[in-house]
């Protein structure tokens, strides 16, 4: 039984590369090939703004969930580092204490994984676990 509510963080992201160009908007999940291609040429940051989920209270727990990421890297929320994550492994990181009214999620691509012919579609979401 699913005891949490999930919010997928698809939609518009900004992709910032080492080039002096303006950030490029990418719509995930459709834009993953662009992100993978750009990461072959150097560092890439992905940023997405979102509002604090409604309906959470003091007893709720909110986690950032990363599934099938084709790279290793680091993650931060509102400029607070949440640590590293490995490629192709599910990760769940607590973000409850870092949520503000408007939040900035940043993923830093550090190393592209060895990719096979078929690449699973990565998923980035928030899991909201209600108070017990």
83: left (phi over 0), alpha (psi -120 to 50) or beta: left
CA dihedral 86, 122, 90, 39 (to 10 degrees): 10
Could you give the CA distance from residue 39 to residue 20 in angstroms, rounded to a whole number? 15
Domain range for 76 is: 5-129
Mean pLDDT by 10-residue block, N- to C-terminus, for the chain (132 residues)? Answer: 82 86 88 88 92 83 93 95 93 93 94 75 91 75
pLDDT in tens, 49-76: 999 988 787 788 999 999 999 899 999 9
The structural domain count of the chain equals 1
- Supply the CATH number for residue 111's domain: 2.60.120.260
To the question of pTM greater than 0.85 for the whole model, the response is: yes
- 69-102 in b/e form (b: 16+ CB < 10 A) is bbbbbebbbeeeebeebebbeebeeebeebbeee
């Amino acid at each position: 039984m699913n005891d949490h509510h999930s919010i997928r963080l698809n939609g518009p992201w900004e992709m910032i590369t080492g080039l002096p160009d303006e950030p490029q908007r990418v719509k995930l999940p459709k834009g993953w090939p662009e992100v993978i291609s750009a990461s072959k040429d150097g560092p890439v940051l992905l940023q997405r703004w979102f509002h604090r989920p409604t309906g959470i209270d003091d007893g709720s727990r909110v986690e950032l969930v990363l599934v099938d990421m084709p790279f290793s890297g680091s993650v931060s929320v509102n400029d607070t580092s949440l640590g590293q994550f490995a490629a192709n492994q599910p990760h769940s990181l607590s973000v409850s204490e870092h949520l503000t009214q408007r939040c900035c999620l940043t993923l830093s691509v550090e190393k592209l994984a060895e990719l096979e012919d078929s690449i699973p579609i990565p998923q980035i979401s928030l899991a909201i676990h209600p108070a017990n």
